[in-house]
Amino acid sequence: MTEEVFLSPKKKGKIAVFISGRGSNFRAIHDSILAGKMNCEIALVFSNKEDAPGLKTAQDRDLETLFLDPKAYSSREDYEKEIIKELRKRDVDLICLAGYMKILGPSLCREFKNAIINIHPALLPSFPGLHVQKKAIDWGVRYSGATVHFVSEDVDMGPIIVQEVVPVIQDDTEETLSDRILKEEHKIYSEAVRLYFNGRLEVRGRRVYIK
C-alpha cells in the first residue's frame, strides 16, 4: 500500500478560529498576523457559545464572527453541515481550534481533512482531555507543555506539529502552571499556522515533517 502524503499549501490562506471562551490563543494568532509574520488572514471567528468573551474581542478587532447554537439543530451532523456551509462561503482553508469545547464529528473532520488543527495544554499523548494541567501536577510529572496537532476523529490523537516543554515547579498550582503553559501556547500556535501556509508541513501517517 502506498503511503498517503499531505503537503500543506503555500498560499495566502484563510483561517477560521473556533472558540468557546476567552480566546487568548485566537488573539495571539491575530497579533502575529497584524505583525506581518503570517501568510494568512482570519476570515471568521466562530463559536458554539453566544457569550464567549473572545467573540467580543473579535468584533472589537473588526473581524467577522458567527455564533451557531448547537441546540437549534437536531443532530451534530446537521449542526456541522451548517458550519461547513458557512466555512465554504468564506473559502476557509484551515480551521484553528482554540479552546473550542465541542468535540468535532466525522462530517467536519472528513470535509476538512488535514485542515483542522488544535492546541492542547499538555505534551500529548500524555494527558489528553480536560483539566490536564491539574492532572499533570497530580501525577507528579517534572515537565508538561503544549502541543499543536492536526485534528482527527480520535480526540487529541492527530499527528503532532509542534510541542513546547514547560517545567512543572514544586509549588505549582493549576493556575500557575496553566499560565506558564499558556504563554508557550501563544508562541507555538502562531508558529504552526505560519509553517502550514508556508507550505512546510508534510504529513506521512502519524509523522509531520517540517520542510
149 binds ligand GRF (CB under 6 A): no
Query: Is residue 186 among the annotated active site residues?
Result: no
180 touches ligand GRF (CB under 6 A): no
8-37: contacts with ligand GRF (CB under 6 A):
19, 21-25
Which one of 33, 44, 95, 98 is in contact with ligand GRF (CB under 6 A)?
98
Contact status: 151 vs ligand GRF (CB under 6 A): no
Q: Which is nearer to ligand GRF, 13 or 99 (CB)?
A: 99
Spatial distance between the Cα atoms of 199 and 176, rounded to a whole number of angstroms: 36
Q: Sign (positive/negative) of CA torsion 156, 162, 107, 204?
A: negative
CB of 181 to ligand GRF, least distance (A): 7
Residue with smallest beta-carbon separation from ligand GRF: 99
* Catalytic residue list: 120
Residues that bind ligand GRF (CB under 6 A): 19, 21-25, 98-99, 119-121, 182, 185
